Every structure is written in structure tokens, then in C-alpha cells.
Structure 1
């Protein structure tokens, strides 16, 4: 699993950094969706998701990636709520994958460059990797 669950994804809003790998964000997601994170991921995998599963995963992922809560809410309103949901489902699933499974080029078990070991560093992938 990625050391910090961070993923860069190209989506309707543009290219943004998402990260849910923070306990407080996961607890907020579980509270908003009334389910554990693994259940939320399983619902998305099964196509049995609710709108909160998608909206809150994206919103909280944006916040964890460094976007302000107000801008994250605005991005969700403009790009999730007002567009077909199919792409947003893929984005939400990709955000959950990063925290639950990891990301390509996972540094776990590999010697990390000194720069990547600094607090606040992140592992990022391109959008094409994020949606595969």
C-alpha cells in the first residue's frame, strides 16, 4: 500500500490530488455513508453504491489531497452533481483503491529516495493509471 494513499486523477474538474489515507477522513466518510470503508468500496465494485458513496469519497479525497473544504464542496457540486455519474464512480473507486490497495510504483518494500521520505511527500500516478 502506498505510504500515504495519494493519487493524482484527471477528472471533470481537471487534474487534482486525492488522498483519503487519514484516519479522520476515513471516519468522516464512514459517518456520511453510514458504512465502513470496505463496505463503501464493495458497494461501488458491485454497482450498488449510493450517491453519498461517490460524492463524499471525492469531496473528502480532495480535502485530503490539499484542497480547501469549500473548494472541494464546490468541485463536487459542479462536476459530480451536474454531470453523468459514470466517470465520478470511477474517480471515487480510484480514490478508495489508493487507500485500501495502494498505487502503482508503491514505495513499500523499496528504498525510498531521501526527498520522498520528507513529511508531506506523496506518491502520485497519472490519470490513466488511476482509472485502470
Structure 2
């Protein structure tokens, strides 16, 4: 999980950092008149409202470090005049990252055929197995 509770997503033609620290969560809660878990449920159930989506994105951009005026201009230009539905998954990911967190980048997989040295304890042990394998 990400310790910073932030997520980078494509919005407005570029990758942007979204973050909802406590102050931004409170602003979002005030604008939508519900808490973050209720927002996540609305997004999942398809019962979201326009401001649920818009404010999640706006507050996430501001929390991610954008000046309020710049974040508002981006939202006006890339949200207000476009279909709303494609933005629902962005809004949901922004709120979920604040509440649940996001997975860190996965570790690189070893190359095929490379030895990893990750044998189980039973394989490493010189002791005989306690039971015989089934026939």
C-alpha cells in the first residue's frame, strides 16, 4: 500500500497527482454532504451525483499540489464540458486512495530460468518428510 495515500492518473491530457489529505477530505465531505466511504459506495453502485465526481477530482488535484485556481481551470476545461461517466473511475480511485490506499509498484519478476533461492523451509531441511505423498 502507498503510505502517501496518493495516486497518479491521466486527466486532462496528462498524468496528474491526486491526493486527499484530511483537509481536502473535509472539503469534499462538505461539498458532497457525505463521507468518503459513502462516496465510494455511490461510485460502485452507480448512484453518484455530478458533484460527487467533480469535487472528488477537484479536491484531489488541489491536495496533489495544484493551486486552487489552476485546479479549477483544469476541471472546468476537462470535466465541465465533457461526458461525466468516463470520470467516475478517476473520482473513485482518488477517494479510495485516501481511504484504502493504493498498491505500491510490484516488484520486478526474476528472469526466466534465474535461480531465486526462495525454497520453502521443508525443501531446505535435511529432515525426512513426516508423511508419504499420496499415490
In structure 1, the residue corresponding to 2:27 is in which secondary structure? helix
Gaps of 5+ in 1: 107-132
Look up the SS of the partner of 1:80 in the other structure. helix
Q: CA separation in 1, counterparts of 2:23 and 2:12?
A: 26
CA-CA distance at 1:4 after TM superposition: 1.6
1:11 equivalent in structure 2: 11
Q: How far apart are residue 81 of structure 1 and its match?
A: 0.8
What is the distance in 1 between the residues matched to 2:16 and 2:54? Answer: 15
2:61 alignment partner in structure 1: 62
**How many residue pairs were aligned?**
105
Q: CA deviation at 1:105?
A: 1.3
Distance in 1, matches of 2:11 and 2:87, equals 8
Cα distance in 2, alignment partners of residues 57 and 6 from structure 1:
13
Q: Which stretches of structure 1, 4 residues or longer, exceed 6 Å deviation after superposition? A: none
Aligned-pair distance for 1:13? Answer: 3.7
Task: Provide the alpha-carbon RMSD of the alignment.
Answer: 1.3
TM-score, with normalisation over the residues of structure 1?
0.75
Contact kept, 8 Å, 1:41 with 1:93, in 2: the verdict is yes
- Distance, in Å, in 1 between the alignment partners of 2:12 and 2:5 is 21
Does residue 2 of the first structure (1) align with residue 2 of the second (2)?
yes
Deviations 1:62-111 (A, max 9, x none): 001111100111111111111111221111011112112211217xxxxx
Report the 3-state secondary structure (helix = DSSP H, G, I; strand = E; otherwise coil) of the residue aligned with 1:3: coil
Of the structure 1 ranges 53-62 and 84-93, higher mean CA displacement relative to structure 2 is found in 84-93
Structure with higher Rg: it is 2
